[in-house]
Amino acid sequence: MSTPNNTVWLNGKLVPSHEAAINVYDHGLLYGDGVFEGIRIYNNRIFKARTHLRRLFESAKAIRMDIPFSTEDLYNAMRQTLDANKRTDGYIRLCVTRGVGSLGLNPFTCKTPSVFIISDAIALYPRETYENGLAVITSSVMRNHPAALSPRIKSLNYLNNILAKIEAIDAGVLEAVMLNSQGLVAECTGDNIFIVRKFSGTTVLATPPLHAGILEGVTMSTVMDLARAAGIEVRSYDMTKHDLYTADEMFLTGTAAEVVPVTRIDGRTLGDGTIGQVTRKLLDAFRAVVKANAPED
């Protein structure tokens, strides 16, 4: 449950959330012009903080925006925000907007980007989902073409994903798979996709490649490392809906979602309809890592 009386870090100062204001002429509000990161906190450790900050600065560079703070400044700012809210577990939202400018698309009228940090609780899916599995659909909303807006830029403009999310909710489920312009599997509205299948007797964990139009997920990369450490072969290749329909197992990964099993897609039951062994092993391994000593690098 969200906390409306949080303390927010805004441009170098800690302020009550009800006083944390963004100017209506900010291009982040007017045009979705900005970048962000969602980051988890476990046992007072900011999970993969340095990795998230690197991606934030890469996203900013890609859209030609100079963040007016260093990575160390922002790491310390996240720490200040957590301490101010007495939060040792939960979620951080770190946003950088283009800043205040004139009406019109020209981003160079914006002199100084605005940066704010929120720390709060988050729960994308009900707790029972992690035990019983999630049902998903395939959305008719196409994933943005990578040549139009690279999905590797974690931008403030999520309307593409929101439209697919609306379609999922209208269908009575919580998540939707998005296809790219070639009809290949990309990712879900907020999560990366993995499937498990057997090839010539070998169990393989597979996920769509970056060129399919996906965000290079931090949790996704962590899970791939955990799989390799467990002796599970990991592959990345182009997938169609058929690959998902015929998979033995399927799960999603994301900072907020963590590792969430999927047991049904478009009305089709995956495997025997329960959480598969590989999914369970990786879910348990991920929980063990973040519970023991969540890495901040």
- Which residues are catalytically annotated? 154
Strands 192-199 and 202-207: antiparallel
Q: How many CB atoms are located within 10 Å of the residue 197 CB?
A: 17
Encoded tokens for 91: 């979620």
CA angle 137, 93, 116 (to 5 degrees): 140
Report the C-alpha gap between 288 and 280 in whole angstroms.
12
In angstroms, what CA-CA distances link 138 with 95, 165, 215, 297?
29, 11, 18, 34
What is the Cα–Cα distance from 62 to 84, expressed in whole angstroms? Answer: 32
Using CA atoms, how far apart are residues 214 and 125, in angstroms rounded to an integer? 21
- Which residues sit opposite 258 in a β-bridge? 254
Residue 240 near residue 184 (C-beta atoms within 8 A): yes
